[in-house]
Amino acid sequence: MLFQIKSYLKFLWYSKNEHAVHSPFVFNLITKCFYDKHSKPEYAILKTYRNSLVQNRNTIEVTDFGAGSKVFKSNNRSISKIAKTAGISSKRAELLHRIVHYFQPQNILEIGTSLGLATVALSLGNKKAKITTLEGCKNTIAVAQVNLQKICCTNVELITTEFGNFINAANLKSKIFDLVYFDGNHQRQATLHYFEQLLPTITNDTVWILDDIHWSSQMEETWKIIQQHPKVTVTIDTFQWGFVFFRREQPKEHFIIRV
């Protein structure tokens, strides 16, 4: 917790808003998407989905393949508490919806379904997109599947798998992902492995979103390595998320933006 507080204070010191951005691509993203304050009809669906989970007092046994939880001390967890503390926040779900709506990706990969709070935002952002979402825990993905069916998210394919088993050359052969949302394993080695394995799936316009880039010193180091990769041109640090772009026409540049 102390590490994250120090990281956040550092972020506040260095972060800027749209007035310090001279890249037209990033300026438009910030002003037309990040800072879009208009209400969307989909926000009500996101709220309904969240409330159904927050009100669910059932307990499930969670199998955690990643870095573990800083909140839970036991693998027996109430669905309500997972939704409140471990899932994507309401504000972030709305932002994720806007990002998908803004870029209109056709093929989306989500690494870490959990209860589907981010999945539904991805789905509603572009109902014509094909979304593949991966989750290692069979009990949490079962809850997500039931709730996604209730609101008719028919463009989502849920796959129960350890991430490393799915993200390999055989499964990814000839696949293209226009957007990848990484929210499943906050460890350096695993994140860098997924990064390298997924590079063949990118196009010039692909967007990657990495969750919790300031989770630990290990994740901050991972973020710096990704920024320096020769195929990466533009990155945006919003503290919670790191955005990665591969646009060859863009000069290599890093932005720290308050959202």
pLDDT per residue as tens digits for the range 177-207: 999 999 977 889 999 999 999 999 999 999 9
Question: What tokens appear for 69 in the block?
Answer: 């939880």
The pLDDT of residue 65 is 65
Please, which residues bridge with residue 107 across strands? 130
Residues 216 and 186: their CA atoms lie apart, in Å, by 8
- Residue 173: per-residue pLDDT: 84
Give the per-residue SS3 of the chain.
Answer: CHHHHHHHHHHHHHCECHHHCCCHHHHHHHHHHHCCCCCCHHHHHHHHHHHHHHCCCCEEECCCCCCCCCCCCCCEEEHHHHHHHHCCCHHHHHHHHHHHHHHCCCEEEEECCCCCHHHHHHHHHCCCCEEEEEECCHHHHHHHHHHHHHCCCCCEEEEECCHHHHCCHHHHCCCCCCEEEECCCCCHHHHHHHHHHHHHHCCCCCEEEEECCCCCHHHHHHHHHHHHCCCCCEEEECCCEEEEECCCCCCCEEEEECC
Tens of pLDDT, residues 101-113: 999 999 999 999 9
**Distance in angstroms (rounded) separating the CA atoms of residues 97 and 127:** 11
Residue count of the chain:
259
* pLDDT on residue 141: 96
Residue ranges of the chain with per-residue pLDDT less than 70: 65-74
Alpha-carbon distance 177 to 139, whole Å?
Answer: 26
pLDDT of residue 26: 97
Report the alpha-carbon distance of residue 19 to residue 151 in Å, rounded: 39
What integer pLDDT is reported at residue 209 of this predicted model? 98
The tokens describing 54, both together, are 């927050």
d(CA 99, CA 215): 22
- pLDDT number for residue 169: 72
* 130 touches 155 (CB < 8 A): yes
Residue 168 confidence (pLDDT): 83
Query: Closest Cα partner for 134 from 166, 94, 105, 102?
Result: 166
User: What's the pLDDT at 64?
Assistant: 75
Question: Residue 11: which of 224, 256, 218 has the closest Cα?
Answer: 256
pLDDT at site 152 = 86
